[in-house]
């Protein structure tokens, strides 16, 4: 099995997803056992990307259900095409069809609008990847409905009967932990927590995903990120922001950090104005100054000392 996990890890990295053995092992087991995998972690650490990579590796379609407050079973499962049904009813009246005949026609699969869950269950050729994104944003009632689908991979449409999956989909659920999920849902899934990456891993991600970036700039960006993640912020930046910032700096033809450019591009890193105001000027300049004077081979270990210096030299209002 160790060899199989290593092979899977190599396949994921060939698809541009820099991973580690814990992630590769969980993905391997989810594929082997055909169990859903629940992935939790902070926003922007690569949870959703795992489903995308899995679909590319398996050469199958990705079916995505984006969860939100108020999402109900019909929206996620199916709806009837009411305009098409009304048109068919009028046509039936012209053909003098009986009510029973009309009902049989309009409540057939031709008038069914399949939403993501039903699409995944009825996928014709091979098992797709079903991504249930940000399940924590959905209501508890929807979560309870989802339990039946994940247990048996079948749904009941009253007018058509029970529909069972001919190809059991691979299922990935993601959560940002905005609310606690039920124990019943957790029991049905393998569990994976993805934290912010280590310095070395984030540098690998940046150099592989940002075209043309040099290693020193990648290391400076990742060191900056490690420092600001130790500061109390409204929205802590994730790996997605690291990549956005790296691409922005490449577009500006920068090969190292400088205070002026960092101040001008803080909007690539922070998505709340209070965080930008906190870092702009003194705090950002101090971080960049310390990173710039740190030897490249020591950037991996400088974040804690820089964060401590920030706390000493800047006022609590600035931090």
pLDDT < 50 regions, the chain: none
Per-residue confidence (pLDDT) for residue 73, from 0 to 100: 82
Per-residue confidence (pLDDT) for residue 43, from 0 to 100: 87
Per-residue confidence (pLDDT) for residue 319, from 0 to 100: 53
Per-residue confidence (pLDDT) for residue 77, from 0 to 100: 85
- Nearest one of 13, 26, 62 to 5, comparing CA atoms: 26
Per-residue confidence (pLDDT) for residue 125, from 0 to 100: 84
């Amino acid at each position: 099995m160790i060899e199989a996990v290593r092979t899977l890890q190599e396949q994921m990295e060939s698809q541009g997803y820099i991973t580690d053995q814990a992630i590769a092992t969980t993905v391997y087991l989810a594929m082997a056992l055909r169990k859903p995998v629940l992935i939790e972690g902070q926003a922007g650490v690569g949870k959703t990307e795992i489903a995308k990579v899995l679909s590319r590796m398996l050469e199958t379609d990705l079916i995505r259900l984006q969860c939100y407050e108020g999402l109900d079973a019909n929206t996620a499962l199916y709806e009837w095409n009411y305009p098409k049904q009304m048109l068919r009813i009028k046509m039936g009246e012209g053909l003098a069809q009986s009510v029973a005949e009309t009902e049989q026609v309009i409540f057939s699969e031709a008038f069914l609008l399949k939403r993501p869950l039903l699409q995944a269950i009825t996928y014709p050729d091979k098992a797709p990847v079903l991504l249930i994104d940000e399940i924590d944003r959905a209501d508890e009632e929807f979560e309870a409905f989802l339990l039946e689908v994940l247990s048996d991979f079948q749904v009941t449409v009253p007018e058509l009967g029970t529909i069972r999956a001919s190809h059991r989909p691979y299922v990935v659920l993601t959560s940002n932990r905005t609310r606690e999920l039920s124990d019943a849902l957790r029991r049905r899934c393998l569990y994976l927590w993805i934290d912010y990456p280590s310095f070395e891993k984030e540098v690998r991600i940046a150099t592989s995903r940002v075209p043309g970036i040099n290693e020193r700039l990648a290391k400076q960006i990742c060191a900056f990120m490690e420092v600001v993640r130790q500061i109390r912020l409204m929205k802590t930046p994730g790996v997605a922001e690291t990549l956005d910032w790296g691409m922005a700096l490449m577009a500006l033809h920068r090969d190292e950090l400088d205070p002026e450019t960092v101040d001008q591009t803080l909007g690539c890193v922070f998505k709340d104005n209070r965080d930008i105001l906190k870092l702009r000027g003194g705090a950002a300049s101090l971080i960049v100054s310390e990173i710039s004077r740190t030897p490249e081979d020591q950037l991996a270990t400088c974040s804690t000392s820089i964060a401590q210096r920030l706390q000493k030299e800047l006022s609590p209002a600035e931090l």
